[in-house]
Amino acid sequence: MYGDIARLLPEQHIRWNEPMKNHTSFRIGGPADCMVFPSTVSQVLEVVSWCRARGIPYLVIGKGSNLLVRDKGIRGVVIKLGEIFCDLTVTGNMLHAQAGALLSRAARLAAQHGLTGLEFAEGIPGSVGGAVFMNAGAYGGEMKDVVYEVQAMDDQGNLRTMQKPELGFGYRRSVFQDNGFVILAVHMALQPGNTEEIRERMAEFARRREEKQPLEFPSAGSTFKRPEGYFVGPLIEELGLKGLQVGGAQISAKHAGFIINTGNAKAADVLELIRIVQARVRESKGIDLQPEIRIVGED
């Protein structure tokens, strides 16, 4: 069924039955039928058109740092934009990134060029494309503050240039969560600053993460979105759920807002913890916690 996809990319850029746990920061997830690693925009276009023509589902991912892939894996084609789709350049105050570029590399390049605005991104372990999709943010900054324009491929395979007002940014939201477009490149407008000061701020953010977050275990960052007026960690802690374990998954004893993989967690273990937390928080506070992590694949 998938055989002739091999015409579109070099053999070494296609994998079959690829374990998703090798492509997620959670280290969890069953196999993807097919995974491709395009290196050019035209390869992305061709793969998407190929899938669309055959009614084969496809999913674009970056670093998999906000993904929980279910245990039976992903039917269809996973298009991974990563190490070979990751150019970064600076012109004046603008930073241009291909979607697969690491956000933290973009932040370090900005610092090197004395450009301020992207310091918040230090320690967010995703790609620039994933960061736009999620409107990733931390320490008072978010992608919305720096994104100027995005190049994307729409659901008909047309290339589009989208300006910030069209991007539908909100708290951990962007229009890409609804429209199924593929983010190809991101242009960020930064401000002139002082390299040393920028680096100091980034080091301070890294220190705070180290101190508060369970970075020594695989996870996908904050499990839930922050409900208005509350912080998720203390809310979960107050209910006595910190440290709760199901199979190999645990509500981190260091930061209850994170679920960690203590070794051999299954997606089912994480999903059960999510269910327990949601039920307890609903019961005791009347709040509907929504996952921030994106849950994909088959049970």
Ligand X SMILES: Cc1cc2nc3c(=O)[nH]c(=O)nc-3n(C[C@H](O)[C@H](O)[C@H](O)COP(=O)(O)OP(=O)(O)OC[C@H]3O[C@@H](n4cnc5c(N)ncnc54)[C@H](O)[C@@H]3O)c2cc1C
For ligand X, which is the closer residue by CB, 179 or 194? 179
Please state the closest distance from residue 197 (CB atom) to ligand X, in A: 21
User: In this structure, are residues 169 and 135 in contact, taking their beta carbons and an 8 Å threshold?
Assistant: yes
CB under 6 A: which stretch of 35-43, 62-70, 234-242, 245-253 binds ligand X? 62-70
Alpha helices in the chain (DSSP H): 41-54, 103-112, 128-134, 143-146, 176-179, 195-212, 232-238, 267-285
Q: How far apart are CA 180 and CA 134, in angstroms?
A: 13
Interacting positions 15-44 with ligand X (CB under 6 A): 25
Distance of CA 26 to the CA centre of its chain: 12
| Number of chain residues interacting with ligand X (CB under 6 A) | 33
Is 46 among the residues known to form the active site?
no
User: In this structure, are residues 260 and 290 in contact, taking their beta carbons and an 8 Å threshold?
Assistant: no
Residue 85 as a binder of ligand X (CB under 6 A): the answer is: no
Cα–Cα distances in Å, from 181 out to 94, 97, 151, 243?
Answer: 23, 17, 10, 38
Residue type, 265: A
Tokens of residue 41, six digits: 């925009």
Tokens of residue 65, six digits: 């740092």
Residue of 28, 35, 59, 68 that binds ligand X (CB under 6 A) = 59
CB under 6 A: which stretch of 46-54, 58-66, 189-197, 242-250 binds ligand X? 58-66
x/- string (CB under 6 A) for ligand X, residues 271-290? --------------------
User: Which residue out of 15, 108, 172, 201 is catalytically annotated?
Assistant: 172
For ligand X, which is the closer residue by CB, 225 or 285? 225
Interacting positions 214-233 with ligand X (CB under 6 A): 215, 219-221
Q: Rg of the chain over CA atoms, in angstroms?
A: 19
Residue 291 as a binder of ligand X (CB under 6 A): the answer is: no
Please state the closest distance from residue 82 (CB atom) to ligand X, in A: 8
Residue of 30, 31, 38, 64 that binds ligand X (CB under 6 A) = 64
Per residue, the 3-state secondary structure of 159-184, as one string, reads: EEEEEHHHHCCECCECCHHHHCCEEE
Q: How far apart are CA 131 and CA 124, in angstroms?
A: 9
CB under 6 A: which stretch of 47-55, 110-118, 132-140, 248-256 binds ligand X? 132-140
User: Which position has the token pair 């983010």?
Assistant: 183
For ligand X, which is the closer residue by CB, 36 or 67? 67
For ligand X, which is the closer residue by CB, 179 or 284? 179
Question: Is 290 exposed, middle or buried (CB count within 10 Å of its CB: 0-12, 13-18, 19+)?
Answer: exposed
Residue 206 CB-half CA count within 13 A: 13
Is 18 among the residues known to form the active site?
no
Residue 98 as a binder of ligand X (CB under 6 A): the answer is: no
Quick one: which of 109, 127, 82 has its CA closest to 118? 109
Residue 257 as a binder of ligand X (CB under 6 A): the answer is: no
Is 172 among the residues known to form the active site?
yes
Residue 117 as a binder of ligand X (CB under 6 A): the answer is: no
Please state the closest distance from residue 284 (CB atom) to ligand X, in A: 26
Residue 162 as a binder of ligand X (CB under 6 A): the answer is: no
Active site residues: 172, 222, 292
Residues that bind ligand X (CB under 6 A): 25, 59-67, 81, 99, 124-127, 129-131, 133-134, 136-138, 176, 182-183, 213, 215, 219-221, 294
